[in-house]
């Protein structure tokens, strides 16, 4: 029963969240207006360009992961690493977060390496991304402060959130919560759950510490900038697909649309922490929220987010099919050699 409950939470909860958020999103918009925008108001060449840029982000991620694995004494072929990334994101469309486990299992089994070491490197990979999102958030809060402040103070929820940060009891509760968690970990330090969490934390540290000590750490930083540069510019070029987002690129004070795109990009990156199928729902709502800051309507924001998400999803499906073919062909070649 416990096993099935775990499966339900792991795979059922993301599906439920996806459905609820998509229903909420479409309740906020005029569906016919949104569909009319997608049919008649789009330059699809920009969407195709965004799809192409996304492929390079996966290739750069594979190159970055190779540095970590090589530092651990694991030397998989570069194409196998690329396919592990392609397959990871394709699988996440159906089973959120399962893709990360699959890519570690695939590389560990094909290279006869320890799964925990490969998993640690993947966790380090994700921690680097988390740090990048935090840095981008700080940048966004600096360069887009006037627009964010105007939007937040316009709505009651925004005003309440800002006011909350100035309440002394909020910070007391936050510090008290952290202290309580530490106390519980200390009291129950010998239980199986706490030991498992400690083991996971050790793997995370091991995978991340490799980045600091390994050869090629500056390459790691360069690949990280390339990955996130691709993420950002695949969204930016999509701005030129619609008239209403293209106008943001020509409006004064937006630096060619770079700042509005940064706001939408940072919010959408944060939304990916919510488990859902391929980001559907949280990602779209985050994009809508970011565009709304600059006066884009809900129908327009939904049309933009759904088309951009669909383009990226189609590309992931294509890459997933390619990965299946690569793995199948690799296995046949091994069988012939044996």
Q: Residue 242 phi/psi, 5° resolution?
A: -115, 150
- For the chain, the domains span 41-337
A 10 A CB-CB count for 74 gives: 18
**Chain segment 220-278, per-residue pLDDT in tens:** 999 999 999 999 999 999 999 999 999 999 887 778 889 999 999 998 898 887 777 77
Question: Confidence class of residue 155 from pLDDT cuts 50, 70 and 90?
Answer: low
Residues 102-119 have pLDDT tens digits of 999 999 998 888 887 788
Q: pLDDT per residue over 180-223, tens digit each?
A: 888 877 787 788 777 777 777 776 676 666 677 777 888 999 99
Secondary structure E strands in 88-189: none
Cβ-count burial of 62 within 10 angstroms (0-12 exposed, 13-18 middle, 19+ buried)?
Answer: buried
Token digits for 289? 């929220």
Quick check: 306 and 284 in contact, CB under 8 A?
A: yes
pLDDT per residue over 3-58, tens digit each?
A: 555 555 555 555 666 666 666 565 666 667 667 777 777 899 999 999 999 999 99
Q: Provide the token pair at 222.
A: 């360069």
Distance of CA 116 to the CA centre of its chain: 23
Structure tokens at 150: 């105007």
On the CB side of 52, CA atoms within 13 Å amount to: 7
Instruction: Give the SS3 label for residue 42.
Output: strand
More confident residue, 81 or 142: 81
Give 40: exposed, middle or buried? Use CB within 10 Å, 0-12, 13-18, 19+: exposed
pLDDT for the residue 201: 72
């Amino acid at each position: 029963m416990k096993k099935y409950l775990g499966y339900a939470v792991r795979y059922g909860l993301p599906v439920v969240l996806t459905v609820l958020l998509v229903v909420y999103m479409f309740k906020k918009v005029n569906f016919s207006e949104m569909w009319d925008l997608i049919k008649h108001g789009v330059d699809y060449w920009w969407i195709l360009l965004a799809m192409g840029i996304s492929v390079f982000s996966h290739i750069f991620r594979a190159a970055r992961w190779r540095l970590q694995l090589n530092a651990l004494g694991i030397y998989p072929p570069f194409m196998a690493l690329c396919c592990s990334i392609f397959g990871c994101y394709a699988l996440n469309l159906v089973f959120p977060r399962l893709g990360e486990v699959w890519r570690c299992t695939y590389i560990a089994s094909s290279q006869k390496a320890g799964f925990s070491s490969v998993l640690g490197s993947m966790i380090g990979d994700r921690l680097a991304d988390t740090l990048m999102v935090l840095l981008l958030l700080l940048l966004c809060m600096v360069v887009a402060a006037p627009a964010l402040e105007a939007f937040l103070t316009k709505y009651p929820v925004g005003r309440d959130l800002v006011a909350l940060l100035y309440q002394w009891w909020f910070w007391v509760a936050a510090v008290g919560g952290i202290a309580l968690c530490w106390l519980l970990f200390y009291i129950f330090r010998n239980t199986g759950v706490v030991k498992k969490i400690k083991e996971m934390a050790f793997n995370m540290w091991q995978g991340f510490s490799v980045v600091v000590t390994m050869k090629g750490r500056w390459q790691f930083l360069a690949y990280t900038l390339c990955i996130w540069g691709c993420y950002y510019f695949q969204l930016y070029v999509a701005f030129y697909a619609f008239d209403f987002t293209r106008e943001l690129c020509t409006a004064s004070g937006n630096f060619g649309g770079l700042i509005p795109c940064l706001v939408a990009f940072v919010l959408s990156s944060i939304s990916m922490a919510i488990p859902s199928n391929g980001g559907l729902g949280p990602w779209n709502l985050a994009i809508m929220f970011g565009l709304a800051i600059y006066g884009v309507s809900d129908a327009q924001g939904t049309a933009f987010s759904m088309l951009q998400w669909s383009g990226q999803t189609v590309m992931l499906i294509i890459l997933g099919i390619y990965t299946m073919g690569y793995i199948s062909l690799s296995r046949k070649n091994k069988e012939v050699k044996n």
